[in-house]
């Protein structure tokens, strides 16, 4: 399956440096949101906001990849040197997002991103390294000594998760619970004007959902049930089965 990349690059402060791509929703490709940033390998969430009457929103968690900036920028790109070793996250766009775009005939989608990471609090003074199953057990000598946990690990009666932080207060070990967030400003990305119901031919139910976006327009054109039927044909709905077709016509007439 072909990937249709919707790409965004952000610096370490969350400022957008570049954005390219268009949501297409084609049956022969997968829409993928891709983010490149110098931010470390920490969880990244994406928020999709549609420009419709209800301002519908969807949230997904992106996947950290092994790809680096050098793999996605050409050497002639002005960001090639700067983003050479920056990290990359990706996520396949949820089908519900694309369906709502079709239903409401949105012209664009707003994307915003949020990184969340455990950061050392004031309890953490002197960094002592990493601890975990593949490392020597940490030994605290002074209050304020602290470590990052690599993977899941139980120590001092505490269950530490990946990338969590442990500090020593002079007597006991504790998990540091301070979290840091970085949220980008919303970025509007365009929709392919040719995006249509034909993109979802695998399911008549999905076709019915998207066609309902034309109901109000068809009502205005229709004087009776026959004309509604003809209008649906004009809207390329003739490939629906008879029972689904009847459901559409009945719903419009009744409303």
Q: How far apart are CA 145 and CA 166, in angstroms?
A: 8
Q: How far apart are CA 101 and CA 50, in angstroms?
A: 7
CA distances from 84 to 71, 74, 97 (A): 8, 10, 32
Q: Is residue 243 within a helix (H) or strand (E), and if so which, with residue range? A: helix 242-254
**Protein fold of 2-115+182-194:** Immunoglobulin-like (2.60.40)
The 10 Å CB-count burial string (b at 16+, else e) for 208-233 is: bbbbebbeeebeeebeeeeebbebbe
Can you give the pLDDT of all 255 residues of the chain as single tens digits? 789 999 999 998 899 999 999 998 877 789 999 999 998 877 789 999 988 767 789 999 898 899 999 999 999 999 999 999 999 999 999 888 888 777 666 678 999 999 877 778 999 999 998 999 888 899 999 999 999 898 889 999 999 987 789 999 999 999 998 777 889 999 999 888 776 544 444 443 344 444 444 444 444 444 444 334 344 444 344 444 444 444 444 443 344
Q: How far apart are CA 196 and CA 101, in angstroms?
A: 10
pTM for the complete prediction? Answer: 0.61
Domain ranges in the chain?
A: 2-115+182-194, 120-177, 204-254
From the centroid of its chain, how far is CA 92? 7
Question: For residue 108, what are the contacts with CB-CB under 8 A and spacing of at least 6?
Answer: 51, 188, 189, 190, 191
Cross-strand pairs, 61: 45
| Amino acid 105: pLDDT | 62
Give 88-105 as a 3 state SS string.
EEEEECCHHHHHHHHHHC
Q: How far apart are CA 236 and CA 41, in angstroms?
A: 46
């Amino acid at each position: 399956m072909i990937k249709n990349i919707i790409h965004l690059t952000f610096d370490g402060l969350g400022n957008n440096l570049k954005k390219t791509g268009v949501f297409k929703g084609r049956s022969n490709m997968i829409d993928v949101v891709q983010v490149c940033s110098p931010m470390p390998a920490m969880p990244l969430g994406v928020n999709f906001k549609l420009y419709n009457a209800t301002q519908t929103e969807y949230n997904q968690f992106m996947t950290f990849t092994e790809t680096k900036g050098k793999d996605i920028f050409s050497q002639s790109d002005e960001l090639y040197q700067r983003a050479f070793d920056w990290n990359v996250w990706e996520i396949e766009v949820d089908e519900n997002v694309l369906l709502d775009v079709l239903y409401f005939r949105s012209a664009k989608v707003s994307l915003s991103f949020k990184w969340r990471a455990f950061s050392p609090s004031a309890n953490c003074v002197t960094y002592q390294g990493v601890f975990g199953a593949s490392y020597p057990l940490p030994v605290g000598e002074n209050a304020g000594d602290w470590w990052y946990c690599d993977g899941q690990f139980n120590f001092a009666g505490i269950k530490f998760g990946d990338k969590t932080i442990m500090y020593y207060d002079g007597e006991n070990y504790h998990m540091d619970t301070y979290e840091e967030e970085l949220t980008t400003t919303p970025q509007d990305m365009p929709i392919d004007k040719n995006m249509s119901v034909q993109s979802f031919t695998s399911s008549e139910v999905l076709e019915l959902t998207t066609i309902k976006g034309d109901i109000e327009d068809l009502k205005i054109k229709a004087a009776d049930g026959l004309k509604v039927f003809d209008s649906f044909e004009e809207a390329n709905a003739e490939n629906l089965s008879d029972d689904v077709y009847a459901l559409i016509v009945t719903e419009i007439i009744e409303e």
